[in-house]
Amino acid sequence: MASRYWVVSLPGQNSASTLWNNLQDQISKHSFDTPLYRFNIPNLRVGTLDSLLALSDDLLKSNTFIEGVSHKIRRQIEELERVSGLETNALTVDGVPVDSYLTRFVWDEAKYPTMSPLRETVDGIHTQVAKIEDDLKVRVAEYNNVRGQLNAINRKQSGSLAVRDLSNLVKPEDIITSEHLVTLLAVVPKYSQKDWLSSYETLTTYVVPRSSKKLYEDNEYALYTVTLFGRVADNFRTSARERGFQVRDFEYSPEAQESRKQELEKLVQDQDMLRSSLLQWCYASYGEVFSSWMHFCAVRVFAESILRYGLPPSFLACVLSPSVKGEKKVRSILEGLCDSANRQVTYWKTEDEGGAMAGLGGDTDAHPYVSFTINIA
């Protein structure tokens, strides 16, 4: 599937069918590897010249916005598919692949009546896409909120012993709690374990001899228990800190541990549900935005063709996808098929250098015909 297309219109002062046949003939002879399609635009309501001029000022800005929303949804789909480990699905519009929808475009009269003013159609498309973008922001924020909570919990469970949650490392039999005795948890630098084992009994009085047991070790620290009289616990913490050992605040609670486990399970379920829901919404919304974008492009081609070629509407609109190395040749073919009068071609080349119609919402480089680029990926 090509990802970059030109949408162009050529002035058809005689017969659009004849011009189409000539274009097909020239492309097949001189650039046979360039896909070429007719872009069928209905007879839209022209309105006044002033209204068309006013509309043309907004077309490029609106196109940038709509295209941006399209790409934003596409990137969100790619991210969700990657995180979910899913194969990338071909994006569609009502079940039709997006490239086929573009190259076989058919105007939706029921959704966008051709007798509506062009401004009304453009504003309607812009409003619809803006609403989809707002919905996307809300849905992504909700999903990211749950994912953020999960990441925070995972960091606590997988970080270093100095900061991580210890509840899943400590068993009930590791903790002694009585009227007089308490068990503390000490985080000892990995390479200071010998120092800990030789000194913990003397850090304060009333430490139970040989009560320290290693529960866990990571790349930086080891986790040890130590049992002592509760009344000297604060003295032990102070002395341990002076020796470079960290006594973690910890209270073993089976109820709290079970509650955290249930919270984690619920967050995982919520994340999976929101991710699946967001992905399905993105698939549907991408199709809706892409369809709106193509209708917007049709209006853009129509309006710019009227402003360039005049009334009554007489032009041939088409879609091409030339290779990078074939672009120059295709441009030459398109220019050659414009009005054969050298005066008109020269006029547009002069306009490219700063005339009144230069850059009329089309590509950066002006041409003697309407032309702009669509990037669908």
In a domain, 246, yes or no: yes
Of 131-135, 153-157, 338-342, give the range with the top mean pLDDT.
Answer: 131-135
For residue 300, the number of C-alpha atoms closer than 13 Å in the C-beta half-sphere is: 27
In a domain, 165, yes or no: no
Per-residue pLDDT at 356 exceeds 80: no
Beta strands 213-217 and 246-248, pairing class: unpaired
Last residue of a domain, one of 231, 251, 271: 251
Between 45 and 87, whose confidence is greater?
A: 45
β-sheet with 36-38: strand ranges across: 36-38, 315-320, 4-11, 370-375
Last residue of a domain, one of 251, 273, 297: 251
Shared domain for 264 and 154, answered yes or no, is yes
pLDDT of res. 127 = 96
In a domain, 235, yes or no: yes
Beta bridge partners of 8: 318, 371
Shared domain for 5 and 27, answered yes or no, is yes
Backbone angles phi, psi at 228, to 5 degrees: -155, 175
pLDDT of res. 147 = 93
pLDDT of res. 351 = 39
Shared domain for 205 and 224, answered yes or no, is yes
> For the whole model, what pTM was predicted?
0.78
CATH code where residue 67 lies: 1.20.1460.10
| Region 55-69 average pLDDT | 93
pLDDT of res. 49 = 85
Shared domain for 280 and 263, answered yes or no, is yes
pLDDT of res. 361 = 43
In a domain, 154, yes or no: yes
Lowest mean pLDDT among 239-253, 285-299, 350-364: 350-364
| Region 66-72 average pLDDT | 96
Measured CA to CA, the distance from residue 159 to residue 166 in angstroms comes to 10
Shared domain for 201 and 276, answered yes or no, is no
For the chain, the domain total comes to 3
Helix (H, G, I), strand (E, B) or coil at 87: coil
Distances (CA, A) of 78 to 82, 143, 274, 290, 377: 6, 15, 16, 16, 11
Measured CA to CA, the distance from residue 94 to residue 91 in angstroms comes to 10
CATH code where residue 245 lies: 3.30.70.100
| Residue 187 belongs to domain spanning | 172-251
Between 180 and 363, whose confidence is greater?
A: 180
Shared domain for 38 and 51, answered yes or no, is no
CATH code where residue 318 lies: 3.30.70.120
Query: 255-289 b/e with 16+ CB inside 10 Å = b?
Result: eeeeebeeeeeebeebbeebbeebbebbeebbbeb
Measured CA to CA, the distance from residue 78 to residue 94 in angstroms comes to 19
Per-residue pLDDT at 349 exceeds 70: no
Shared domain for 156 and 272, answered yes or no, is yes
Confidence of residue 1 (pLDDT cuts 50, 70, 90): low
pLDDT tens, residue by residue, 5-42: 999 999 986 788 889 999 999 999 988 889 999 999 99
Shared domain for 202 and 336, answered yes or no, is no
pLDDT tens, residue by residue, 272-289: 999 999 999 999 999 999
pLDDT of res. 365 = 55
Long-range CB contacts (within 8 A, 24+) of 291-294? 291/93, 291/94, 291/101, 291/108, 292/66, 292/125, 292/128, 292/129, 293/63, 293/66, 293/67, 293/70, 293/125, 293/129, 294/101, 294/102, 294/105
DSSP state of 208: P
In a domain, 347, yes or no: no
Confidence of residue 357 (pLDDT cuts 50, 70, 90): very low
Shared domain for 115 and 148, answered yes or no, is yes
In a domain, 80, yes or no: yes
Shared domain for 177 and 39, answered yes or no, is no
β-sheet with 213-217: strand ranges across: 213-217, 221-229, 181-189, 246-248
Measured CA to CA, the distance from residue 204 to residue 241 in angstroms comes to 12
Confidence of residue 155 (pLDDT cuts 50, 70, 90): confident
pLDDT tens, residue by residue, 97-124: 999 999 999 999 999 999 999 999 999 9
Q: Are 129 and 66 in contact (CB under 8 A)?
A: yes
In a domain, 114, yes or no: yes
Per-residue pLDDT at 341 exceeds 50: no
Share of the chain above pLDDT 70, in %: 92
pLDDT tens, residue by residue, 285-323: 999 999 999 999 999 999 999 999 888 888 999 999 999
pLDDT tens, residue by residue, 184-223: 999 999 999 999 999 999 999 999 999 999 999 988 999 9
Shared domain for 156 and 264, answered yes or no, is yes
Shared domain for 143 and 218, answered yes or no, is no
Q: Are 292 and 111 in contact (CB under 8 A)?
A: no
pLDDT of res. 268 = 92
pLDDT of res. 335 = 92
Per-residue pLDDT at 345 exceeds 50: no
Measured CA to CA, the distance from residue 166 to residue 183 in angstroms comes to 14
In a domain, 336, yes or no: yes
Confidence of residue 339 (pLDDT cuts 50, 70, 90): low
CA 334-340-342 angle, 5° bins: 105
